[in-house]
Structure 1
């Protein structure tokens, strides 16, 4: 009997420690959890609560959703490390790692994605602002963060604002890359935007980021251009012959699009030490525009010939897609690592040249000189003779007709 009681007690203990699971039977639930209320009240002051409590209308999945842990759905700002999150089925308690500090304004954020036991996830989040002191500072830092290389908003980017004495404020951008971080006291902040691919709330070397120094209150919203950066300047890595008067030069790092190397920064020298002048440098965006203009001109020429010949005209090409709305692309052209160079005269086939560049500037604002040698392709061989063609018949002399007597 005693053994049965011990076994039953162990089974009950195991059930108590097990993760929550969806109830069996009943109609299928496709609605995400709904946040009923949060304590303390928003904009409350002189708060003495030990935790912020989020209450929902149903049991929350204690393992988060997907690869996310439950802790990853909450931000506490200012931050002293990962917050402490306590799970109580339909109630979740959140507090800073070392507790709330006196006379400090906090923002506690529930991020989108929290799910119930059936996998239904919340598409929106919620934020609570309160103070453990008598006031809440009025200042905020706002802006938009872009994935600069892709020319699109950086959805869910991590935003940090650090004071000179290393107090760390946190926020997350929305799906359009917009963010608001605060409340903040007047002063100078180092603002960092990170495309946090692994969701560890830290800046890794392989992750795109941008930093700006901002004074609160700010004069205008920020534009943050996140991209993978390092401290080394760009250097020529590959030179490719496009045609007899065009070269494509590839750098090992991005070139600063606001100060790209001009044609005068390049020098092209042949094996006999003769200099081939470079007359133009063309960025990828300008090259694409040039290609589109040529295609349009060719299509218009074909239509003109068909019209004069009285042939049925093909339908006009569909209109180009509308330009992206303001705010959906960064105001600064994207960085690039390739450029097209045009030379003044055709390059000699099967000849070695050396291309050099002076003071190519990278995103780190550091510049350097570099060079690379390359060889132009051999001339194309003449087409082979057609061995299946029959030789022409020899010409026979035709005698003149006989003269009449």
Structure 2
């Protein structure tokens, strides 16, 4: 055989091998494993729970996962209620939440992050609400309210509390003095 014919046969042979090899594999992307059903958690806060003499204009939350930002806006409850809208400044899994006005002196504030917070990828809700408190004064007010919720699924039920001197208690018209969630 001529040298040119040998080279052509070898070239055709490798071309045939390449076609056979590439045709054998089913070319699909990997499935990525099982669906993540782990709920997001708050893993760090500022100020820490029980802080006194708090003078800052914001609080900070760090989540275990990326969060759908719109869900947090509707899940932050501050008691006693403050006027105006909170401002959210995100950096990755962390958010600074700015108060719309200066906080009142010598008041204990309670921040509750409700279970409506969802993670970014799979829409997993927080398993339970998260609450922390801080005071602009020298002590944390230790008042408490207790009760029982009778419902099939008591998680995520909103609890409103009004001061005793409130004349008309209408949740549709008047913001509660204190808000929490089961």
TM-score normalised to structure 1 length:
0.31
Residue matched to 2:133: 129
For 2:113, which of 78, 102, 110 is the aligned residue? 110
- Report the CA distance between 1:96 and its aligned residue: 4.0
1:257 aligns to what?
none
Answering whether residue 168 of structure 2 is matched by residue 160 of structure 1, we say no
More deviation in 97-106 or 36-45? 97-106
Instruction: Tell me which residue corresponds to 2:79.
Output: 77
Match of 1:172 in 2: 180
Task: Give, in angstroms, the shift of residue 112 of structure 1.
Answer: 1.2
The answer as to whether partners of 2:89 and 2:97 remain within 8 angstroms in 1 is no
Distance (whole Å) between structure 2 residues aligned to residue 128 and residue 80 of structure 1: 16
1:274-353 aligned within 5 A: none
Structure 1 residues 163 and 133, CA, compared in 2 at 3 Å: closer, same or farther?
A: farther
Say whether 1:99 aligns with 2:106. Answer: no
Q: 1:283-336 CA distances to partner (integer Å, 9 max, x unpaired)?
A: xxxxxxxxxxxxxxxxxxxxxxxxxxxxxxxxxxxxxxxxxxxxxxxxxxxxxx
CA contact (8 A) 2:87 2:100 kept: no
Higher strand share: 1
| Other structure's SS at 2:148 match | strand
Which residue number in structure 2 is paired with residue 86 of structure 1? 88
Q: Which of residues 28, 36, 58 in structure 2 aligns to 1:51?
A: 58
Q: Provide the aligned C-alpha RMSD in A.
A: 3.1
Q: For structure 2, list consecutive stretches of 5 or more residues without a partner in the other structure.
A: 1-30, 168-174
Paired position in structure 2 for 1:38: 45
Considering Cα pairs closer than 8 Å and 6+ residues apart, tell me whether 1 or 2 has the greater RCO.
2
List structure 1 segments (4+ residues) > 3 angstroms apart after TM superposition.
25-30, 151-155, 163-168
In the other structure, the counterpart of 1:192 is none
Describe the shift of the 1:81–1:160 C-alpha distance in structure 2 as closer, same or farther (beyond 3 A): farther
Give the Å deviation of 1:79: 0.2
Quickly say closer, same or farther: Cα 1:95–1:102, change in 2 above 3 A: farther
